[in-house]
Amino acid sequence: MKYQKTAKRGCRAKFFTAGLYLFMLTAGLILGACRGYHGAPEAPPFKVPVSFSASGDMPLNELWWHEIDDPVMWKHVENALGENFTIKFAYQRIKAAEAQVKRARAPLFPWLDSGAGLGHATKKEGSSYINEDTILINSSVSYELDLWGRINSEVEAFELDLSAQRADFETARLTLSSQVAIKYFEIVALKQEIKIIGRQEERNRKSLEIIRDKYHFGQTDPLDLWQQEQLVEQTISKQIEAAKALETAQKELALLLGRTATKSENIKTSEFLPKLPPLPETGLPVKILKRRPDCMRALKRLMAANKRLAAAVTAQYPRLTLGASMETDSSAVKDLLENWVSTLSSSLVAPVFEGGRLQAEVLEKEARAREFLYDYGQTLLTAIKEVEESLAIERHQQELIGNLESRHELAKKTSLLLKEKYLAGDVEYLRFLASQLSVDELERQLLQERFRLIQNRIRLYKALGGPISLASPRSKGKSTAK
């Protein structure tokens, strides 16, 4: 009896000692893995300015293109958001990111496996052979306890990737809407320019007829006639160039709309460039940075990198896995439920020596987090720069257009007066020709600068814009624009 008590005490001591060693080993591994890793701060790495240099009073509509009074353009933008293949491509990347989140969540639940099999054995007993069929059924379940939050950190990283992908999708939609609007108004401007050149050609031909009549009556020399003929041909060349640019722009717009280039001539537009509304309200830079999808994408990528750093750190800690299994086999189906063998298990696995791979992965994730921090900062700086640049261009462009309008009016008055003086023989033809060229050039330049003003305003709307509240494209490619 005394011997049995001594044996029991010895057995308990061995178990206690083994448990103590295991505890000390686990604690040592955890302390060794804790090097004091720090994720990147999830805040702007610079001081954000309090306000922009200028602001209007009109709040910006989510459907920013409705700020410009051109319903034909509205329809093209909204159709493009449903038909453009780049947008559909970006939408499918969201679907892929959603599937990655589901896959990442799988380790949070137990893993259950079941199997069945048939076996056939032949054995020899004496001079005879005995055949035996066996049925085998087994089932097992395993579950890793997320002691240190590693699995949860990985799940959160993939969820943040999904948010970043959604922001990337919104960035693509915002970019596409601005591209369609700019290309649309480029086409409108080119059509107007072709009409202006056509009127200039008609006027130059009338002047050519007058000069030709004067030449026949000996009132002018051939040089004036040839110069006017050259001016008519020059006008025709400009019309050809404008037609070429128009056809190219139409094909580019067809591509943005998800159509083939053969249908580009059927794209409807308005006849004239619209008048712009007053400047929109720019708001606070902090709010703009929180609303812009490209800034949100950069922030979500930074947050995801920090979660992956946390997962890499905790991957150095021990893992505890629980398991259970049951299996049975028998040569008769009725005996399967009588011969079950069940097993319960648990395992604590800790990395002891892996050549520094886990620590190197932590260092990589730490560097990646810093990389995304600086990318986030650069994205914010770019966003502020785009708004300020558009505001500055708007101011100077308005001044330039006002100056060109004054010059154009003066040039027209000068040209009319010189035409009268030339017909009366008071001035040389070259002075009249120079005035005509000045009027033509200023008229086309004024149109181009008005288009550039609209182009810059669209870029300002894009720089201030946030997510678009239109439905996402369907997989079959049908437009969802309303």
Cα separations (Å) of 440 from 2, 21, 238, 429, 453? 121, 94, 11, 17, 20
Query: Which range, of 8-22, 259-273, 381-395, averages the lowest pLDDT?
Result: 8-22
Confidence of residue 164 (pLDDT cuts 50, 70, 90): very high
Encoded tokens for 477: 């490619």
Residue 112 pairs in a beta bridge with: 141
pLDDT at 479 over 50: no
Residue with more model confidence, 37 or 14: 37
* Mean pLDDT across 164-168: 96
Write the pLDDT tens digit of every residue in 75-128.
Answer: 999 999 999 999 999 999 999 999 999 999 999 999 888 888 888 777 777 777
- Positive or negative, the CA dihedral 459, 464, 467, 469 is negative
CB 41 within 8 A of CB 306: no
State the pLDDT at residue 33: 46
- Positive or negative, the CA dihedral 367, 162, 310, 41 is positive
Write the pLDDT tens digit of every residue in 367-425.
Answer: 999 999 999 999 999 999 999 999 999 999 999 999 999 999 999 999 899 888 878 88
* Mean pLDDT across 204-231: 83
Ramachandran region of residue 149, left (φ > 0), alpha (ψ -120 to 50) or beta? left
Confidence of residue 153 (pLDDT cuts 50, 70, 90): very high
Confidence of residue 7 (pLDDT cuts 50, 70, 90): very low
CB 434 within 8 A of CB 422: no
Residue 348 pairs in a beta bridge with: 320
CB 189 within 8 A of CB 242: no
pLDDT at 289 over 70: yes
* Parallel/antiparallel/unpaired status of strands 128-145 and 111-125: antiparallel
Confidence of residue 329 (pLDDT cuts 50, 70, 90): confident
Write the pLDDT tens digit of every residue in 303-328.
Answer: 999 999 999 999 999 999 999 988 88
CA–CA gap between residue 201 and residue 208 (Å, rounded): 10
State the pLDDT at residue 87: 93
- List the one residue out of 440, 453, 451, 452 whose CA is nearest residue 408: 440
* 3-class state of residue 317 by DSSP: coil
CA–CA gap between residue 34 and residue 37 (Å, rounded): 7
State the pLDDT at residue 260: 87
Residue 118 pairs in a beta bridge with: 135
CB burial of residue 389 (10 Å; 0-12, 13-18, 19+): middle
Residue with more model confidence, 299 or 475: 299
CB 145 within 8 A of CB 113: no
Ramachandran region of residue 39, left (φ > 0), alpha (ψ -120 to 50) or beta? beta
Show Cβ contacts of residue 167 under 8 Å, excluding neighbours closer than 6 positions. 293, 294, 296, 297, 300
Per the confidence metrics, is the pTM higher than 0.85? no
Domains and CATH numbers, the chain: 37-108+149-317+356-464 (1.20.1600.10)
Mean pLDDT over all residues of the chain?
Answer: 85
Encoded tokens for 470: 């239109």
Residue with more model confidence, 400 or 207: 400
Query: Which range, of 30-39, 70-79, 345-354, 447-456, averages the lowest pLDDT?
Result: 30-39
CA–CA gap between residue 64 and residue 468 (Å, rounded): 9
Residue with more model confidence, 23 or 406: 406
State the pLDDT at residue 354: 82
CA–CA gap between residue 405 and residue 364 (Å, rounded): 60
